[in-house]
């Protein structure tokens, strides 16, 4: 019966009828900066935790659902390369796929401990040799394409710096996973206090709980916006497994509201507009569901209008 219920719920989510729970982010409304980050931490903490490897439901099992190839449901999609491989083989003595900690598990030295080491909001299936090539490199702009033994990946690395740039199709996903980890893990209850920095640390071997590079991650977040596949993954994790969400998928503007000041935006970063103000207009009657509008006012004088529904 448990399997039948789980299958029903997965079908329910994948049909696209699920939604952000009513009032889920209500306590964060009106905040910005560290205050918003703290409010979001309160919302997404204390999630249901699963083991990394177990005879019961573990990270392998969850990734087979969250990262399923919609064109071939027997496969999972591999981050950084986009390749599709048979899901059930798992590691398969080095012939299958691996579990990539997007926030490198050495950056905070949490390994595969239940909690940060098993949080599937920031773990993705990956080709084994591509995973090894990424290693624990910082995320930042670079130009040397990584060609794997199986072919081009669309991801990049540097011969002079310990950095990695994901494939353009997932670079925004990567940014939002890093934002999630820095928000979810704030040093409470023995968990690491993860922080994003805007420079490449000189010591590439450090196990300090930091990750880079904030300005490039913000650029990727803007250039590769949230898509339906990413939203669906967020829903599966929330409704079927961890019972918490990645706020930066549901509300991409939260990244700007939290980290704009840390970036110290100036004329040398023309690609990144400063979000000056968000005006929330309530009680707008439209059909069929949206009833609020957010007005985004940016530093370059541009104005953006986004309709939302009351459950947001």
- The predicted-structure confidence for 154-200, as pLDDT tens digits, reads as follows 999 999 999 999 999 999 999 999 999 999 999 999 999 999 999 99
Q: Do 27 and 9 share a structural domain?
A: yes
Q: Do 238 and 221 share a structural domain?
A: yes
Q: Angle formed by the axes of helices 214-223 and 171-184, to 10°?
A: 130
Q: Report residue 179: phi and psi, to 5°.
A: -60, -40
Q: In sequence order, which residues have a C-beta less than 8 Å from that of residue 96 and are 6 or more positions away?
A: 85, 86, 89, 90, 128
pLDDT at 95: 96
pLDDT at 127: 98
Q: Do 293 and 166 share a structural domain?
A: no
Sites in the chain below the pLDDT cut of 50: 1-18, 265-268, 271, 285, 287, 309-312
Q: Do 127 and 49 share a structural domain?
A: yes
Q: Report residue 311: phi and psi, to 5°.
A: -70, -10
167, 127 Cβ separation under 8 angstroms: no
CA distance 75 to 85: 5
Region of 23 (left: φ > 0; alpha: ψ -120 to 50; beta: rest) is left
Range of the domain at 296: 274-312
Q: Do 180 and 154 share a structural domain?
A: yes
pLDDT at 239: 97
Q: Do 66 and 37 share a structural domain?
A: yes
pLDDT at 8: 39
Q: Do 280 and 248 share a structural domain?
A: no
pLDDT at 263: 79
CA distance 72 to 173: 21
For Cα atoms 125, 249, 56, give the angle at the middle one, nearest 5 degrees.
40
pLDDT at 21: 95
Q: Do 283 and 247 share a structural domain?
A: no
CA distance 148 to 156: 11
**Domain total in the chain:** 2
294, 269 Cβ separation under 8 angstroms: no
CA distance 87 to 292: 41
Q: Do 237 and 143 share a structural domain?
A: yes
pLDDT at 7: 42
CA distance 9 to 34: 35
CA distance 115 to 109: 12
Q: Do 230 and 111 share a structural domain?
A: yes
């Amino acid at each position: 019966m448990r399997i039948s219920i789980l299958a029903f719920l997965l079908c329910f989510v994948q049909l696209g009828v699920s939604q952000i729970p009513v009032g889920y982010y209500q306590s964060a409304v009106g905040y910005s900066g560290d205050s918003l980050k703290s409010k979001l931490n309160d919302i997404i903490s204390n999630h249901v935790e699963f083991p990394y490897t177990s005879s019961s439901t573990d990270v392998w099992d969850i990734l087979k659902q969250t990262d399923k190839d919609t064109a071939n449901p027997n496969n999972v999609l591999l981050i950084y390369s986009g390749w599709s491989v048979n899901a059930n083989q798992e590691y398969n003595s080095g012939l299958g796929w691996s579990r990539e900690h997007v926030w490198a598990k050495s950056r905070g030295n949490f390994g595969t401990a239940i909690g940060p080491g098993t949080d599937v909001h920031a773990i993705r299936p990956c080709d084994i040799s591509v995973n090894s090539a990424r290693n624990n490199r910082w995320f930042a702009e670079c130009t040397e394409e990584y060609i794997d033994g199986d072919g081009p990946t669309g991801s990049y690395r540097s011969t002079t710096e310990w950095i990695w740039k994901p494939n353009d199709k997932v670079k925004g996903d990567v940014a939002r996973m890093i934002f999630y980890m820095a928000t979810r893990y704030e040093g409470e209850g023995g968990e690491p206090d993860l922080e994003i920095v805007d420079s490449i640390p000189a010591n590439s071997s450090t196990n300090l709980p930091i990750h880079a590079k904030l300005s490039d991650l913000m650029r990727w977040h803007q250039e590769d916006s949230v898509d339906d596949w990413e939203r669906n993954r967020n829903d599966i994790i929330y409704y079927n497994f961890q019972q918490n969400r990645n706020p930066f998928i549901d509300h991409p503007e939260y990244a700007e509201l939290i980290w704009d000041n840390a970036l110290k935006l100036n004329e040398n970063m023309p690609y990144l507009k400063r979000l000056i103000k968000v005006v929330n207009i309530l009680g707008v009657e439209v059909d069929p569901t949206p009833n609020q509008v957010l007005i985004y006012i940016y530093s370059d004088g541009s104005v953006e209008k986004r309709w939302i529904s009351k459950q947001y």
